[in-house]
């Protein structure tokens, strides 16, 4: 069966939503000319922009046919605007919710180009919309101007040059040529715009002027390697060209080697997870005893029991380690001191959908307590979007990103083999933690039992907890 989709734009939305079309298997993808009048600049400008998009869309291997049409064919993707504009999710994830698909993988590009054009080390774009006064363009210009070109409209280039200083202007004929230029660069810098969407689709290192979280258009934020949303950290071009898949992530500092503090393991589950919680908890007690840590458990109900349990445990140690009830310690040799450093107050991992709070270390500072208390206050708002407490952590940790340390997923939050071939997330013998989200309790118990996870806390496979 050939899948068929129609989209009315605008250009950035089209590019972000191609990710979801790819994830759904691809097919025919049409641009609805009837909606061109709603594009920025009016109908004629909208038609020109649609035609400029077509070469890029046509080149994607998951698109079998494309063009501008004057009626809806197949699935009308503009229905997303009516039912699935969800504050707190980026545009690709919102379309995934509309189509009932998993959120698009964070590190996988969804745009391809036939070849690259190396015009400059840095490509810059800034449109008139979606700005953030805290983004220091003066610092950006000072650091990168000698290595940069500006893409977009001539009037945008003129405004930028007047405000911050001149850099060369590079016109492009269509979005495919624009993508080739961005693909050839080391870094893209810009605000929320269609060129930024192209850079995101290529998974280029990006420094993005993102609107504040309270803004209605806070929908272009991504937490992934080599993506920064402010000017706290200005990446080195030499480092990017030498180490293209390293941290820091989203302006978040790389891990250091500092070791300090005392630790408490915090667990919580209600009746719905009692079988899994009772299965995994004894190994946690053995692990805590082995390393001289404290161990606490509670039974607050639901997803938000995590926050209450952490607040209950506050003040007894320097660090709290939260571990979901469906996660097992599988290498008791690893100590928590190996994961923390002197500059971080949160240690957490990302999976293919973004931040995952199923295994995280929180330093018991006033700032982190404030985050937990804010989550409690804002719970009704976070409950309106998928993932509930995960939503809240992703939102609020973004506001304190200078003290958040993201470590590779297998450092403390490995997942079962899902068959997707994403090796960085798949548990392997010797990994610290095996976490089993998105399973039934029966599946969790079977998988954990098959790996001997219930016995790892003692270091002896086959010894079952009583």
pLDDT in tens, the chain (466 residues): 569 999 987 899 999 999 999 999 999 999 998 887 776 667 777 788 899 999 999 999 999 999 999 999 999 999 888 766 777 788 999 999 899 999 888 888 999 999 999 999 999 999 999 999 889 999 999 999 999 999 999 999 999 999 999 999 999 999 999 999 999 999 999 999 999 999 999 999 999 999 887 888 888 888 777 888 877 678 889 888 874 333 333 333 333 333 357 999 999 999 999 999 999 999 999 999 999 999 999 999 887 889 999 999 998 899 999 999 999 999 999 999 989 988 889 999 887 777 788 999 999 999 899 889 888 887 777 766 555 677 677 777 877 887 888 888 889 999 987 654 344 478 888 899 999 988 898 999 988 888 776 655 443 333 323 2
Sheet of 227-228, strands arranged across: 148-150, 122-125, 187-191, 206-209, 227-228
CA–CA gap between residue 464 and residue 321 (Å, rounded)? 24
d(CA 19, CA 152): 22
Residues 194, 196, 199: CA angle, nearest 5 degrees = 115
- In 3-state terms, what secondary structure has residue 252? strand
- Do residues 131 and 224 lie in contact, with contact meaning Cβ atoms separated by under 8 Å? no
Return d(Cα 115, Cα 112) in angstroms, integer.
9
Name the DSSP letter for residue 190: E
């Amino acid at each position: 069966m050939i899948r068929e989709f129609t989209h009315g734009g605008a250009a950035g939305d089209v590019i972000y939503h191609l990710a979801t079309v790819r994830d759904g298997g691809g097919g025919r993808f049409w641009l609805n000319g009837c909606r061109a009048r709603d594009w920025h600049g009016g109908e004629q400008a909208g038609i020109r922009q649609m035609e400029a998009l077509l070469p890029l869309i046509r080149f994607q291997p998951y698109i079998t046919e494309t063009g501008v049409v004057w009626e809806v064919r197949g699935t009308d993707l503009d229905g997303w605007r009516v039912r699935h504009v969800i504050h707190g999710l980026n545009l690709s994830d919102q379309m995934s919710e509309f189509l009932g698909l998993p959120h698009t993988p964070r590190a996988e590009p969804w745009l391809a180009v036939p070849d690259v054009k190396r015009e400059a080390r840095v490509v810059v774009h800034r449109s008139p919309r979606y700005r953030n006064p805290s983004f220091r363009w003066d610092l950006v210009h000072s650091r990168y101007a000698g290595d940069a070109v500006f893409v977009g409209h001539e009037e945008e280039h003129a405004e930028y040059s007047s405000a911050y200083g001149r850099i060369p202007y590079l016109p492009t004929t269509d979005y495919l040529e624009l993508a080739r230029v961005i693909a050839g660069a080391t870094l893209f810098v810009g605000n929320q715009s269609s060129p930024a969407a192209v850079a995101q689709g290529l998974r280029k290192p990006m420094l993005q002027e993102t609107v504040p979280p309270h803004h209605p258009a806070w929908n272009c934020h991504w937490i992934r390697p080599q993506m920064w949303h402010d000017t706290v950290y200005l990446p080195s071009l030499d480092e990017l060209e030498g180490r293209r898949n390293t941290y820091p992530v989203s302006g978040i500092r790389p891990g250091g080697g500092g070791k300090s503090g005392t630790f408490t393991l915090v667990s919580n589950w209600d009746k719905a997870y009692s079988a899994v919680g009772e299965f995994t908890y004894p190994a946690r007690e053995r692990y805590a005893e082995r390393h001289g840590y404290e161990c606490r458990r509670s039974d607050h109900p639901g997803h938000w029991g995590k926050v209450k349990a952490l607040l209950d445990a506050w003040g007894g140690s320097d660090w709290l380690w939260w571990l979901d009830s469906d996660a097992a310690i599988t290498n008791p040799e690893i100590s928590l001191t190996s994961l923390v450093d002197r500059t971080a107050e949160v240690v957490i991992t990302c999976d293919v959908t973004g931040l995952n709070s199923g295994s995280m270390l929180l330093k018991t500072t006033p700032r982190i307590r404030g985050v937990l208390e804010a989550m409690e206050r804002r719970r009704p708002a976070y409950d309106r979007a998928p993932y509930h407490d995960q939503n809240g952590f992703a939102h609020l940790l973004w506001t304190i990103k200078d003290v958040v340390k993201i470590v590779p997923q297998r450092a403390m939050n490995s997942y079962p083999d899902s068959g997707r071939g994403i090796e960085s997330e798949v548990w392997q013998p010797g990994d610290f933690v095996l976490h089993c989200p998105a399973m039934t309790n029966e599946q969790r118990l079977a998988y954990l039992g098959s790996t001997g996870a219930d016995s790892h806390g003692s270091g002896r496979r086959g010894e079952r907890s009583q």
